């Protein structure tokens, strides 16, 4: 049974993960564990200075120590998009490398997971439907560019706090995806682990008419890949289909 430990900042959509565990168990695919620890938050704000503080090494190590004290983990994920890409390409990789050194576990983050998920599906051009303010969303676009992924269009919705993002309904998330320009894109990316999505991936793909990659979805996949488990699970969209390339990623 692969066990992917999750470091999750604050409280917003963390219930996406235990709900997924329950759905998998009910459907007979209950061979994945996703234990989660809430990392500390200074200020809940999608603002660069607050996000740099949110993803600070001491906060992550403190959370990792708490998580590993009660669980035997196969991999570790920093389940936060903005708290990783805000450090830039090199900084985000250094962030997980230092965490891996502190824990001895294969480690990655949601931002890196997005790039690896795109590579797994052979995607070169994507649209981004972001909840963030414009300046923060542009940093995600830059991060994807460093990973060789062209962003053909980007919708920014200016939501400042993770708490507010966590209240978005299925209909609002579907509208966010449907509203982004998808003309040249091969897929739609929906960053922000504060947004509930794991129960709605198929709805989002139906609305977009193409693969949709969400923050919580790519986080789970990356953790499974690092744990050496095949990322084929029902109800989680194209990324988890048997046809998806079994590509690796993250920092071991």
Domain borders along the chain are: 4-240
CB under 8 Å to 22, separation ≥6 — which residues? none
> What is the model's pLDDT at position 126?
98
Q: DSSP secondary-structure letter at 66?
A: H
Q: Which residue has the tokens 């797994």?
A: 120
* Mean pLDDT, contiguous 10-residue spans, the chain (252 residues): 93 94 80 92 83 88 92 95 94 96 97 97 97 92 97 88 91 96 97 96 97 97 92 88 57 36
Distance CA 113, CA 223 (A): 9
How many CA atoms lie within 13 Å of 24's alpha carbon, on the beta-carbon side? 20
CATH topology of domain 4-240: Rossmann fold (3.40.50)
Question: pTM value?
Answer: 0.93
Output b/e per residue, 68-104; b: 16+ Cβ within 10 A.
Answer: beeeebbbbbbbbbbbbbbbbbeebbebbeebbebbe
Question: Does residue 38 sit in helix, strand or coil?
Answer: strand
CB under 8 Å to 13, separation ≥6 — which residues? 165, 166, 193, 194, 195, 196, 197, 216
Distance CA 92, CA 112 (A): 8
Distance CA 238, CA 252 (A): 25
């Amino acid at each position: 049974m692969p066990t992917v430990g999750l470091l999750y900042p604050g409280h917003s959509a963390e219930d996406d993960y235990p709900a997924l565990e329950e759905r998998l168990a009910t459907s007979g695919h209950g061979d994945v564990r996703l234990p989660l620890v809430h990392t500390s938050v200074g200020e809940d704000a999608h603002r660069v200075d607050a996000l740099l503080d949110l993803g600070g090494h001491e906060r992550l190590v403190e959370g990792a120590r708490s998580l590993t004290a009660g669980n035997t983990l196969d991999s570790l994920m920093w389940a936060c998009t903005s708290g990783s890409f805000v450090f830039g390409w090199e900084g985000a990789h250094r962030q997980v490398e230092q965490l891996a050194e502190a824990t001895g576990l294969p480690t990655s983050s949601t931002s890196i997971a997005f790039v690896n998920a795109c590579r797994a599906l052979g995607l070169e051009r994507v649209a981004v439907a972001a909840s963030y303010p414009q300046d923060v969303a542009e940093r995600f676009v830059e991060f994807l560019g460093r990973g060789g992924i062209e962003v053909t269009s980007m919708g920014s919705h200016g939501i400042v706090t993770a708490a507010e993002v966590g209240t978005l309904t299925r209909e609002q998330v579907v509208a966010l995806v449907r509203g982004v320009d998808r003309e040249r894109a091969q897929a739609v990316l929906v960053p922000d682990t504060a947004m509930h999505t794991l129960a709605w991936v198929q709805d989002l793909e139906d609305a977009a008419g193409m693969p949709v990659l969400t923050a919580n979805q790519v986080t789970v996949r990356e953790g499974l890949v690092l744990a050496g488990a095949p990322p084929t699970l029902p109800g989680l969209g194209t990324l988890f289909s048997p046809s998806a390339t079994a590509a690796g990623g993250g920092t071991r």
